[in-house]
Structure 1
């Protein structure tokens, strides 16, 4: 029950006799003490001010690279939320279509200004119009998610987690304010 089985190894488990035999890796394995000593670093650097300054400068450089990538669309330095083939496809698809959500902010501002008019009948009309616009945004977002899921699956396979929500939130932004900047014109859908 707990002993070894005395079965002969199968043909797949046997080593081929023609294979060259490699002897060793060329150097002895270093002792554990030597490896640990090589990895040791102080928890606190000797010059804390210089280390803090260097860290701050590195963060500034990283942020400027990321900002530049958001302007140019350079994939290498984009933030994690914007990286990847599926996210690029979503950005291009959303930027190619007209979205009701991108006009929501303008409508909301107009409704706020018009609601200052002291007419109860006008305020009622404004409130109803605002709810109609909100319903249109919800319907447009549902249609976007359905078509985006279908096209994204056809283009890159299984959509990445959060890709559909990424597209909906991008569709709610005003087009000139979107980051990364739109790379396609309206109607220029990705293939």
Structure 2
């Protein structure tokens, strides 16, 4: 299955199973890149949020006019922070951002329960490393990538470069089919 990509300077399409790393400064505005990826040529989308709550993700999707009827949000923060949570078909929860097994299970569930063109956004690997560690985060990312390949889906994974050692960033780069770099000024470069 081919997926259209609405990412500046990237290929027009990618095959199902493709995983893309979005490398960005921690202060950069990634929402535009993320939502352009999610709303293009898709039947179902999953936002795995280790950085913001489901409410904040919903606001982002609404602001950038992403079809919320197609969206499932995995909130990893609200339980740990004691926020109120309302389970629904479109919002799921795991206990915390370091519950990597729970995150992988929820990605598996989403991909098993949906069909057609599916996109997954993981925002962010940086938080997974912060809450767990590099090795566990790497294993979880690789498991998610395998699920994407098995289900002919595509994924976009965020990584804030300057908060990690260069060797860590390089290690994660090596796991991906495509690298999209977002500069402070909003310039995008892509290598596939």
State the TM bucket, normalised to the shorter chain.
under 0.3
What's the TM-score, normalizing by structure 1? 0.23
Structure (1/2) with the larger helix percentage: 1
Structure (1/2) with the larger strand percentage: 2
> Rg larger in 1 or in 2?
1
Q: RCO greater where, 1 or 2, for CA within 8 Å and sep 6 or more?
A: 2
